[in-house]
Amino acid sequence: MKNKVRALYIGKFQPFHKGHLECIKKILNEVDELIIAVGSAQYSHTLENPFTAGERMDMIRLALEENSIDAKKFWIVAIPDVGTHSIWVAHLKSLCPSFSIVYTNNSLVKILFEENGFKVREIPLFDRKKFSATEVRRRIISNEPWEELVPPSVAKFIKDIKGDQRLRELFKKDIV
């Protein structure tokens, strides 16, 4: 383990899309192993967070297998929010295998890890406007084609669990 470089990449993956996939591919060119941390793990069944942590873990593994990414190169872990930023890094560390580098473009995450002595690297962008989870959810709700934004295996998974239907029903709020 001493010689392996292990990094952390944290996201909400609501849902996992092609932009996430590209990031992971690029990061895996720079490090030996990647911990993919599914953040805000306790939230689901809302417009912003429609999928459970478990469903998101299923999506990520399907997409990485579909892209022939070696399962030995990544971990998928769920990290519930704790509400208190000052303890979040200690909380996350206790739930993850050890790592030395953090990839993020979020300034809060950057500040918190840097205050705890971690190296933080920027994630290379990948057509962010188009490939965003917000856009995927917007398209699902308004019945526009959304499948092209996510890996094919993820599109299939979302339909299998009726996740698209769940999101559209949540949007209605009141049935009648």
Q: Is 137 helix (H, G, I), strand (E, B) or coil?
A: helix
Instruction: Tell me whether residue 144 or residue 172 sits nearer to a second copy (CB atom).
Output: 172
Taking the complex as a whole, the smallest distance from the CB of residue 52 to a second copy amounts, in Å, to: 5
Question: What is the nearest approach in angstroms of a second copy to the Cβ of residue 83?
Answer: 7
Asked if 144 is part of the footprint of a second copy (rule: CB under 8 A), the reply reads no
Nearest Cα residue to 78 out of 166, 162, 11, 7: 11
Binding to a second copy by residue 91, rule CB under 8 A?
yes
Cβ neighbors of 66 (< 8 A, separation 6 or more) are 151, 152, 153
The sheet that has 33-38: what strands, in order across it? 74-78, 33-38, 6-11, 101-103, 119-121
Q: Applying CB under 8 A, does 106 fall inside the site for a second copy?
A: yes
Instruction: Look up residue 136 and give its two tokens.
Output: 């995927």
Chain residues that interact with a second copy, rule: CB under 8 A: 1-2, 41-46, 52-55, 57-58, 61-62, 65, 70-72, 75-78, 80, 83-87, 89-91, 93-98, 105-108, 110-112, 122, 125, 157, 160, 166, 169-170, 172-176
